[in-house]
Amino acid sequence: MTDLPAPDRRIRWATHTGPDFLVLQLPPVPVVEGDRARDAMKTLLERRGFRPVVETDDLELEPANGCALTRTGEEEAELLLRIGADGASRIPLTDLDRAWLARVVEQGQAAVLLVEAAVRPDGTTSREDLRRDVDAGVVLAALVPTAQA
């Protein structure tokens, strides 16, 4: 993977251990269809196999399709999301915990949680932060394949 775009400051992420997962907070991509608005990124992730999380202690994750988390450096990775037949969204992730990244690449998959407000500006999260988003019904999650570039 080359020529990654510069990280978008509106995108936040945090890694969590015990169990290992990536918490990703993306800005909404509003789309209006008729008289209804929706978040296009959430819709895309749902099509890729991300499902609502109803309990933080039992994620019941399903495998994602059309996406991958690829390690691109010691502390860097890229989340690739296929869009349609020919397009893709590449989300660069930097300053990841090295041990966490090594473990999920070795395991061949990572739990990825999409949240709305659970990642703090300093790039951290907690069980309480996650629980608030889960209780609000805004968390999607899936098992994403991992690889080394």
HEC assignment per residue over 75-129: CCEEEEEEECCCEEEEEEECCCCHHHHHHHHHHCEEEEEEECCCCCCCCCCCHHH
Q: Tokens 């008729």 belong to which residue?
A: 34
β 67-71/140-148 pair status: parallel
- Asked if residue 62 lies in contact with residue 145, where contact means CB atoms within 8 angstroms, the answer is no
Contacts within 8 Å (CB) and 24+ apart, 37-41: none
Q: Give 139's DSSP letter.
A: -
**3-state secondary structure at position 46:** helix
Rounded average pLDDT per 10-residue block, the chain, 149 residues:
56 89 91 87 92 85 95 96 88 94 96 95 92 95 95
**So what's the pLDDT on residue 84?**
82
**So what's the pLDDT on residue 142?**
97
Q: What is the pLDDT of residues 60-69, one digit of tens each?
A: 899 999 999 9
55 bridge partner residues: none
Distance CA 42, CA 69 (A): 17
